Amino acid sequence: MPEHQARIRVGGPGAAPDVVGLHPGGFSAARVEDLYAEAERLGYDLALSTLTRTRDEKQAVETLLDSRAEALILLGAEAPAARLASLDRQLPVVVVVRRISTAQLNVVRASDDEGLGQVVDHLVELGHRSIAFIDGGKGTIASDRRRGYRTAMRRRRLASQIRILSGDHTEEAGTRAAHQLLAEDGLPSAVVASNDRCAVGLLSALIRSGVDVPGAVSVVGYDDSVLSRLACFDLTTVSQNARQQAHHAVAAAVERLDGERSAPREIVLAPHLIVRGTTAAAP
């Protein structure tokens, strides 16, 4: 191990490095594995501090700080930008997934606007016009994806078809959206969910109700989670290049620790659509 070896701690919707990282409950174990692999490659250890139903982001971060973390990698941090900037004055902070526009911080994320644009383009090219979107709720990530859907629909001259259903990033939200749609006179020909978990809830509820997916309704998720790759779901989704995010996040933290970079920077990666079995030509 190198002489400068440190522990990287991860915690909940955020991450912390010596490098320490912070992992939110909503992010997959695969993303954390990518961080572990990248940290190990550079000779660092990673410690994890996660969120639970009774343990919030503040507690997860404080646990890492109490253990003398040297840096923080925060996955999808929900804290206000001012709070994150205050933390960054104490030790290096790298925010992953979330866009931060009001503070100078190291940020690694994918372009959600572009990702939703790829989804809408794919569906329109399949002949879809009635394309609904299940919202992700509060927070910057959900806001960016909601805006990306609206922008893409307007760009494709489908502003009159914009429809946003209330939701969040859980399977239950997808189930509720399915029941709402099924109670109406007609279904949209395609539904895009703000993340894969929501899409899986939607998909399962539609199939249980006898709806042919993708014959009658196409379904798209977002994140390319392990769930989306299961044969029983085979979900069309968007990859955020999680491995590249892990690479850049750990590298940014290590650069700060080694004094190689003092000015914060934002790294925005291009997402890419992954077409699987839940999308087809519009009926």
Q: Give the per-residue pLDDT at 3.
A: 34
Would the CATH topology of 7-104 be identical to that of 112-239? yes
Rounded to a whole number of angstroms, the CA Rg of the chain reads: 20
* pLDDT-wise least confident of 12-21, 50-59, 169-178, 251-260: 12-21
- 3-class DSSP state of 217: coil
H-helix segments, the chain: 29-41, 57-66, 81-90, 112-125, 140-155, 171-182, 196-208, 226-229, 242-257
- For residue 229, is pLDDT > 50? yes
Instruction: Taking the CA atoms of 51, 52, 58 and 60 in sequence, report the sign of the dihedral they define.
Output: negative
Q: Give the per-residue pLDDT at 275.
A: 98
* pLDDT-wise least confident of 60-74, 116-130, 146-160, 242-256: 60-74
- For residue 54, is pLDDT > 90? no
Domain map of the chain by residue range? Answer: 7-104, 112-239
Helices and strands (H, E) in the chain, number of each type: 9, 14
- In CATH, what number does 112-239 get? 3.40.50.2300
Superfamily assignment of 7-104 in CATH? Answer: Response regulator (3.40.50.2300)
pTM summary value: 0.85
